[in-house]
């Protein structure tokens, strides 16, 4: 009888903890707008409260079924937040805080810009009364507060930061880059850098039906834009799928995939 009781107890423990072995004990809200805590695992369920961006929540359980909701894949996850218990959609949860990313990205670019003669000379030669001098000072002494988060999907993060064209240094404007969190060594690494700085934007999203994030890299100016479409794979790599030209001043000269509806239709079938 004792043996039966021991075996039953061991089986219960294996099932209980085995089912949760791949689920972390805590996670962080990855939506910059926050995410709604609900009474039940249903988007129409009663709202309990809004959980702010980067808030730590304790994980209680997670549904097995992965669904597509609000442009994200994820699983409904039961969590504890303050004195509340409820359900969050897991597509808006991640396993990391962004403080170290902001520090890493700002340090990386400070080092890069301080190696660039064009940036250094522009900073030195601009008149002190010119507001651009302040902007260039941001490049050579970038702070974590100069970097903001645009989008987080799984371990991929799109950041926004001040950039300039490395070869001309005409001015300073905001641009995007794609970074990722490496679960193996718990560090943040750059995935797609804006090669010429300004007017380059990263749109992280799901394009095809493989549940893996993809992204569109857009660059150009003066009404003419080049879009590079990258598809993600299960190994965490991105491969260039298409390069399309878009002209807002002359739409007839644009690739048909510049139209958002046609772009979605194309990749939903491929």
Of 77, 94, 111, the position where a domain reaches its end is: 94
Is 11 within a domain? no
Is 4 within a domain? no
Q: What's residue 138's pLDDT?
A: 74
211 token code pair: 């549940």
Is 116 within a domain? yes
Same-domain check for residues 135 and 89: no
Q: What's residue 172's pLDDT?
A: 73
- Residue pair 253/247 in contact (Cβ under 8 Å)? The answer is yes
Same-domain check for residues 233 and 244: yes
Mean pLDDT to the nearest integer, 4-16: 45
Q: What's residue 5's pLDDT?
A: 46
Is 155 within a domain? yes
Query: Which positions ≥6 away from 217 have C-beta within 8 Å?
Result: 192, 200, 201, 202, 203, 227, 228, 229, 230
Same-domain check for residues 194 and 229: no
**What's the number of domains the chain is made of?**
3
- pLDDT tens-digit map of 231-265: 999 998 999 999 998 876 666 667 889 888 999 99
Same-domain check for residues 86 and 153: no
Host domain of residue 81 = 22-94
pTM, to two decimals: 0.84
- pLDDT tens-digit map of 108-149: 988 887 777 776 676 666 544 455 544 667 777 889 999 999
- Residue pair 158/204 in contact (Cβ under 8 Å)? The answer is yes
H or E segment and range at residue 171: none
Same-domain check for residues 101 and 189: yes
* CATH number, position 68: 2.30.30.40
Q: Which residue has the higher pLDDT, 153 or 259?
A: 153
Q: Which residue has the higher pLDDT, 195 or 192?
A: 192
């Amino acid at each position: 009888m004792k043996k039966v009781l021991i075996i039953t107890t061991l089986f219960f423990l294996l099932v209980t903890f085995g089912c949760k072995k791949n689920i972390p004990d805590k996670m962080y809200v990855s939506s910059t707008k926050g995410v709604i805590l609900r009474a039940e695992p249903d988007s129409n369920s009663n709202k309990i409260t809004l959980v702010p961006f980067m808030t730590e929540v304790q994980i209680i359980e997670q549904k097995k079924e992965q669904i597509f909701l609000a442009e994200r894949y994820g699983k409904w996850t039961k969590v504890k937040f303050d004195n509340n218990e409820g359900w969050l959609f897991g597509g808006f949860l991640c396993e990391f805080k962004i403080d170290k990313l902001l520090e890493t990205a700002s340090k990386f670019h400070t080092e890069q810009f301080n190696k660039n003669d064009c940036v250094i000379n522009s900073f030195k030669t601009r008149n002190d009364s010119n507001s651009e001098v302040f902007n260039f000072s941001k490049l050579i002494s970038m702070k974590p507060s100069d970097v903001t988060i645009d989008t987080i999907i799984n371990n991929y993060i799109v950041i926004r930061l001040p950039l300039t064209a490395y070869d001309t240094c005409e001015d300073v404007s905001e641009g995007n880059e794609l970074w990722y969190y490496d679960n193996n060594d718990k560090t943040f690494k750059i995935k797609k850098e804006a090669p010429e700085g300004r007017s380059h934007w990263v749109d992280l999203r799901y394009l095809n039906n493989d549940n893996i994030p993809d992204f569109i890299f857009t660059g150009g100016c003066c009404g003419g834009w080049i879009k590079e479409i990258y598809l993600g794979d299960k190994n965490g790599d991105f491969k260039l799928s298409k390069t399309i030209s878009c002209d807002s001043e002359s739409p007839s000269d644009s690739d048909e995939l510049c139209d958002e509806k046609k772009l979605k239709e194309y990749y939903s079938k491929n």
